[in-house]
Every structure is written in structure tokens, then in C-alpha cells.
Amino acid sequence: MSDPLNLVFPSGPRFQPLGRDGLVDRVANLLAEAIMAGRILPGARLSESTIARDMGLSRAPVREAARLLESSGLVEYRTNRGFFVQTVSSAALDNLYEFRIVIERAAIARLVASGAQDTLPLLRAQLAELYRVAQAGEDMTRQVEADMTFHRLICRGSGNPRFLTVFDQIANETKLGLILIGRLYDDPHRMAETHEPIIEAIAAGDSDAAVNAIDYHIGTARTLVCHRFRLLEDKTAP
Amino acid sequence: MSDPLNLVFPSGPRFQPLGRDGLVDRVANLLAEAIMAGRILPGARLSESTIARDMGLSRAPVREAARLLESSGLVEYRTNRGFFVQTVSSAALDNLYEFRIVIERAAIARLVASGAQDTLPLLRAQLAELYRVAQAGEDMTRQVEADMTFHRLICRGSGNPRFLTVFDQIANETKLGLILIGRLYDDPHRMAETHEPIIEAIAAGDSDAAVNAIDYHIGTARTLVCHRFRLLEDKTAP
DNA sequence: TCAATGTCGATTGTCGACAATATCCTTGAC
DNA sequence: GTCAAGGATATTGTCGACAATCGACATTGA
């Protein structure tokens, strides 16, 4: 770059780096959003041509986007059949939560061990956000999003990027399950509260307490979510 | 089906299900093999056109294969730049092993809790295979492959398919690291032996012992591998 | 009636071509 | 000599078209 005196941007660049991710990522985001908003139901086929036509582009980027979504578990690919929205079962959700407990227990232990100076304020801010969306009565998607962001921060702060990578891979599937249920807690304010003990334990630097707190937190969600989902399954196919 | 007397297939079907995986999977396997055999070095660019020309097909399946490899960590994608073979660092390997410990500890605990009736014989057979490749002095790749298969069985037997999925995602990266080092143990027979305590603990149904055994086993490999790799790094870039 | 087979429409699989972008090399000014 | 600007070249990004394959329905024959 020229412009060494910053004549164009007197106080640094004023624009967001303007997503250098190409068309494929945008398509992937659009699809993910559509799936998680329930506009495309689980099990439905993702017709490449239809999507491409709707979005006004060719099939190539749509295919690549679908492959991307496949690796985050939102979509399943069958050779010569195409892409299908991943179906969710209560059993799969249970497995997912069991796995999340394993990951996040380890992540939070490392987070506490490292001191968590950077992460703690972020967690507090995210907790405030959780209260805010609860107060404002925002829709399900926002609430789930805010919750997952909180847990993502824990994985991010673990110091081992691998935890974050894997968390991101399974995050969408979790979101999908939660949104399918339609409501997570009857009282979203109560749901926000359940994050308090986690933060307290981290702040206190008590590793065991933190692990127990996250264990209890996710474990509670696990039984609740799986129970709710089982009811949903029974209602759909008795 | 007619043929109730099984005249055509007197004792059931005689044909293997004839792999229905298309061109993309074959390309992906070829590429993975080339990378892990060291024929393409870490950091190298994967030229779509070159590969396509070499394999005698168009770029489309090559691209998709590369995307597939990306999700298993063998390849990195940079928009408008293309695909690059993932670079490995001792730090990344350390993170990888730390993560594997978390996963496999949890997996083996569940395996033991379930009784492990199906898995135990498979593990014994795989251990025999480990001794065999050690005895036969087979090449590095085979040894690493046999080792990873052993650990894969543990994840497979955990009862939660998620453990297997994630293991498979990171398995290739581990293999790559191991093969880059060029030798894992000076004495491959010794390496095979270190799997014995794991099997014993599982057979005894002792969950804690099994967790400790796998912890020790992977932990030992971790320090050894990372140490070796650091030496390699120092030699390459002092 | 029912199972096996043939046919058809729709969808994915692969391809070659062109446009957009990055990299590299040359060129020129200081 | 160094560095920036510009163009040449190679690579990726996207496209539209054709071939291969699948699932469903009609047809056939026992």
C-alpha cells in the first residue's frame, strides 16, 4: 500500500475489512440461516439447481457451500442423491450434549488454569447480553445464539484452538436442535441466571468448582432438551 | 426377491457392495495418500489445474476433494489463493495431543462402562497387528496406520458416534505429524507393548485404570513426538 | 395379484471456457 | 540501490452445458 501518511484514512481505516470471504461463504451463511430459522425442514432435500436459481447464480458455489455446511453437521451428503438437511433425533442430541460436556469441562479447566484474565470480562459482558435478550423478549434464535456465544467464549479462552474448532463444528447442530424445540426455557431470565455459577467459579479461580458448574449447567440443559425433544418426536410419529 | 431356494446365491450374496463412492472420494484418498507419504510437502500449494491434468480429469472433482480434505485438517484453504498442505508445528501437535487425551479418556471410560464385549476382541486383534508390523519391519506409514486404528477402535466402541467422528477428523493430522518425524519409536516392538496395559484395564473392567492407561500412553507419545518435532524444527530453521 | 423389468423425468456428476484475482517480473523514479 | 507502480502470467472463481445416475411409475409376465 502507498499512502504512508494516512491521508485517505486519517485515523486508521474506517471500514470493516469487508468480508474477503467469497460468494461461497455468503451462500453457506444464507443456507445455514434458512435451515436454523426452520425455513427448510430437517430431512428436506437441498436442490442445487433450485437454490442456485433462487440466488441468481450457478450451481458450483451452491455445491461448495453445501459441502461446507456438511462439515458443520447441518447438512448430509449422499452420493448421486444430493444434499439433505440433517435430521435430528433425541438420541443424537443426547450424544451431542454428552460430547459437549466432555469438551467444555476440559476447556474450562484450562481456562481457569490460565487465569482467564482476558476471557472473564468477555464472559461477564456475554452474560449481560443474555439478560438483555431475556428482558427484551427477543426471539428464540437470538436467545440460543447468545447462549452458544457464551459457551464458545469458554472454548476460545482455553488456550487450545482445537477446542474452539470442534465446538464451532458442533455448535450449529446444537442450535438446530434447540430451535426445533421452539423454546428452551419457559423463563429465559432463569436460563441466563444459570450461567452465574460458572462465572463465579472462574472468577474465584476454582478449577474444580468451574468444572462442576459447567457440568451441572450443560447436564441440566441436556436432560431438559432431550426430554422436550422426545415429546416432540412422540407427537410427530406416535 | 424370488429364487427362494437360493439357487443363484446358495449361501447369501457373493458380491461385495462395490464401493459407491464417486470420483471425488477417490481423488481425496489419492491426495491424502500423497500428502501423508510426503510426496507433497507441508505448505505447498495444491494447484487444481495441475492435479486435474495429472489425474486426467477436470478441476471440479479436484476442488471438491480438496474441500473434503480441508475438513479433516490435511489441507488449508485461502480464498482466491487456493489449497495448501497444512503446515505442522510442534505447538500444533502439542495441542492436538492434548485434545486427543481429552477425547480418548472420555471414550475409553464409556467403553469400559458399556462392558466392551464387542470391542475387546477387535482391540486384541489390532494389537496383534501392531506386533506384526513391528516384526515385519514395515514402513513408517503402516506402523502409524496400525497405531491409529487401535485408538480409533476405542472411540468407535464408546457408544457415542460423535467421538469417532471427531477422532477421524483429527486422525489424519496426527498421522501427518508422525510421518513427518520419520520415526516414532526407535523400537516399534516396544511401541506395540505400550498398548498392553490399556487392553488389560479394559478387560478387567477397571474404568479408572483404563483412563489412566490411555492417559499415560498418549501422554508419553505426546512428549516424545513433540520433542522429536521440535528437534526437527530447530534443524530446519535455526 | 404381485414381483420383476423397462422407461421416463428430474437431479447430480463432470466438463471446458471465460472472468476475476493474485503473483511475479519488469520498469522507472528517487 | 531501493522501492513503488504497472503490466504479464498463472491461478482461482464462476458459469452454462452435457453425461451419468437415481427414484418413480408404467409395463410385462407368471
For every residue of A74-100, DSSP letters joined together read SEEEETTTEEEEPP--HHHHHHHHHHH
Residues of B in contact with A161 (CB under 8 A): 95
C-alpha cell at A17: 475489512
SS3 B3: coil
Q: Show residues of chain A in contact with B89, CB under 8 Å.
A: none
By the CB < 8 Å criterion, does B58 face chain A? Answer: no
Residue from B72, B81, B88, B99 whose CB has the most chain A CBs within 10 Å, to mutate: B99
Residue B196 Cα distances to B2, B148, B151, B199, B213, angstroms: 50, 15, 13, 5, 9
Rounded percentage of chain B residues whose pLDDT exceeds 90: 73
A135/B8: higher pLDDT: A135
B71/A99 Cβ within 8 A:
no
Q: Would you call B20 an interface residue with chain A, using a CB distance cutoff of 8 Å?
A: yes
**Domains present along chain A, CATH in parentheses:** 23-85 (1.10.10.10), 90-236 (1.20.120.530)
pLDDT of residue B2: 38
Read off the pLDDT of residues A22-67 as tens digits, 9 standing for 90 and up.
889 999 999 999 998 889 999 999 999 999 999 999 999 999 999 9
SS3 A185: coil
Distance B223 CA to C9 C1' (A): 60
Q: What's the rounded Cα separation, in Å, for the pair A220 and A198?
A: 13
Residue B16 scores a pLDDT above 70:
no
Whether B150 shows a pLDDT value over 90: the answer reads: yes
Q: Kindly tell me if the per-residue pLDDT of A8 is higher than 80.
A: no
Contacts of B96 in chain A (CB under 8 A): 162
- With pLDDT > 70 as the criterion, what percentage of chain A qualifies? 88
B11 and chain A in contact, CB less than 8 A? no
A11 close to B (CB below 8 A): no
Q: Do A102 and B102 touch (CB under 8 A)?
A: yes
Residue B6 CA to C3 C1' — how many Å? 17
Looking at residue B8, its pLDDT comes to: 46
**For residue range B219-236, what is the model confidence (pLDDT) as tens digits?**
999 999 999 999 988 877
User: Cell numbers 464401493 correspond to what residue?
Assistant: B19
Report the residue of A89, A111, A162, A173 to disrupt the B interface, i.e. the one with the largest count of B CBs within 10 Å.
Answer: A162
* Nearest CA-CA partner of A13 in A31, A25, A1: A1
Mean pLDDT of chain A: 88
Per-residue pLDDT at A15: 39
Answer whether A227 touches B (CB < 8 Å). Answer: no
